[in-house]
Amino acid sequence: MDHASERNPGDAPRTFAIELCRLPTMDDRPGLISFLIGGGVAGRLEGKSATLTDAALRGRLAHFDAHSANEIAAVRKALAVENGRTTVYEAWPALDGCLRFWYGFVGSQIRPIESACEACGKLNRGSVGGSVGESFLRRCGCGRVSRITVPNHMPLSSAPAR
């Protein structure tokens, strides 16, 4: 990939706000973490909220050494409580790079994960970033909480070429 082509020469990196929020506790386990990339472009990105496991968030925050140990500890503390929220800031040459990093992070990329409720059979779907084999809980509209395991990566094209 040619990262240089994403840059506008002479443009200083822009700072993007990444809003993090701990989702409600389910069956005594902390919920997932939702994130929303805003930073003055929130209108454009509305609806692009997705969720992460704790491991997936840790990987992203640690990746570039862009966040100090103190900052990461503060994030962990803020997200230790139900509905706790905090915002981290990252400088990127352009929004695209920031989005690609947060959505496409290798090993825990955001993808739609579908699951059938154990009680009513309803198919529930949500965008989650987690490592293959990691599990999380999801509450169905009927109230039942099911444990979901992050599946192996699906091929980009679902139909094999013949």
Write the interaction track for Zn ion spanning residues 64-83; mark x where CB under 5 A is met and - where it is not. Answer: --------------------
| Stretch touching Zn ion by CB under 5 A, among 30-38, 65-73, 129-137, 144-152 | 144-152
Among 62, 80, 116, 119, binds Zn ion (CB under 5 A): 119
From residue 124 to residue 143, the character string flagging contacts with Zn ion as x (rule: CB under 5 A) and all else as - is ----------------x-x-
148 near Zn ion, judged by CB under 5 A: no
Q: Pick from 92, 86, 52: which is nearest to 72 by CA?
A: 86
Q: Are strands 50-52 and 123-129 parallel, antiparallel or unpaired?
A: parallel
Candidates 73, 91, 116, 120: give the one binding Zn ion (CB under 5 A). 120
The residue (of 86 and 146) whose beta carbon lies closer to Zn ion is 146
- Name the token pair of 130: 């987690």
Strand partners, 146: 138
Q: Which stretch binds Zn ion (CB under 5 A): 47-55, 68-76, 99-107, 113-121?
A: 113-121
Residue 3, CB-side half-sphere exposure with 13 Å CA sphere: 8
What b/e sequence results for 9-33 when a residue is b if at least 16 CB atoms lie within 10 Å of its CB, and e otherwise? Answer: eeeeebebebbbbbbeebeeebbbb
Which positions lie near Zn ion, rule CB under 5 A? 117, 119-120, 122, 140, 142, 144
